A and B are shown apart, each in its own frame.
Chain A
Amino acid sequence: MGTIKGQNLRVMVGGKCIAMATSCTFHVSAQLEDSSTKDSVGDFQEQEVTGLSWDAQTESLVTLEDNGSNGELPQDLLSLMINKTKVTLTFDTTAGTNNRVGQNSVIKKTGEAYITDMSVQAANRQNSTLSVQFTGTGPLS
């Protein structure tokens, strides 16, 4: 059975991949409310879904130039965060040149999000890394 390798699943901002990404997480969760009553059977609680939320996180190496690959750079992401810009975020499989071309696969999800956290880690003699947190606002489609 074929699996999807991590390099072929990417988060894109406005259709552009994060430059030099190393890892990403796409997370959807449901908020529940306890709807147990005296009529509930046994010890088990009953739950009702009252809301859904989603977020995404990316890890990448820090680069100041896109080297013609047209990826989102750290300085661009920081500007989006400071300007409180809502971004269109897409999670999709990729292939092709520099592994940046979205495939519109069955797994693809798109929604609007804000950048809610950014941090850079710079350890001696190691590649500097960037971590960006996106929090979804509104529905996923």
Chain B
Amino acid sequence: MELDELFFNALMEDADLVLAVGGRIESTCFEVSPDEQDNTPLPCIIVTDDGLSNQPTDKDIEWEAGEDRVQASVEVDAKDPKQVKQLIRMVRKAISNYITSLYEKGEEIPCLQSVQTNGVAWDWMKPCYHSTITYQCDVQNDL
């Protein structure tokens, strides 16, 4: 499963989070148009795929390595900064709980390398307050 799909599932499984955003959890992997993104009522959450990088790690590899470094983000839009921060915290918890449950079931999980947010900012185009949390993970690619 792709990292952004995994995060989308994690967020959708958290009933408190779904309730807090009125069910408005979208993902670019399900073809949300920019127009839809802009016109979604607040608060809302959008999961995005931020691409990958792959480097051959050893001499046995003739082409790509068996592991990708993948990035996916969760953007939170809300009317006030406090709500953005509360939702970011809920997003972190939902993803953490979901990954932990996968691990406990013995399923393969991504190897987390870093998590970062860019702080709450004002988007005068929408307008809304927003913040994005970005996860960078190593994932087996089964090529």
Contacts and interface: CB of A to CB of B under 8 A. Distances in A.
A60 B59 CA distance: 9
Interface residues on B, range: 10 to 19
B101 interface: no
Contacts of A60: 58
B111 A69 contact: no
Interface in B48-66: 56-62
B96 interface: no
Nearest to B60: A98
Nearest to B58: A20
B58 A61 contact: yes
Contacts of A98: 60-62
A69 B56 CA distance: 16
Given A125-B111, A125-B113, A69 B57 contact: no
Interface of A: 6-7, 10, 17, 19-22, 60-61, 69, 71, 94, 98-100, 125, 127
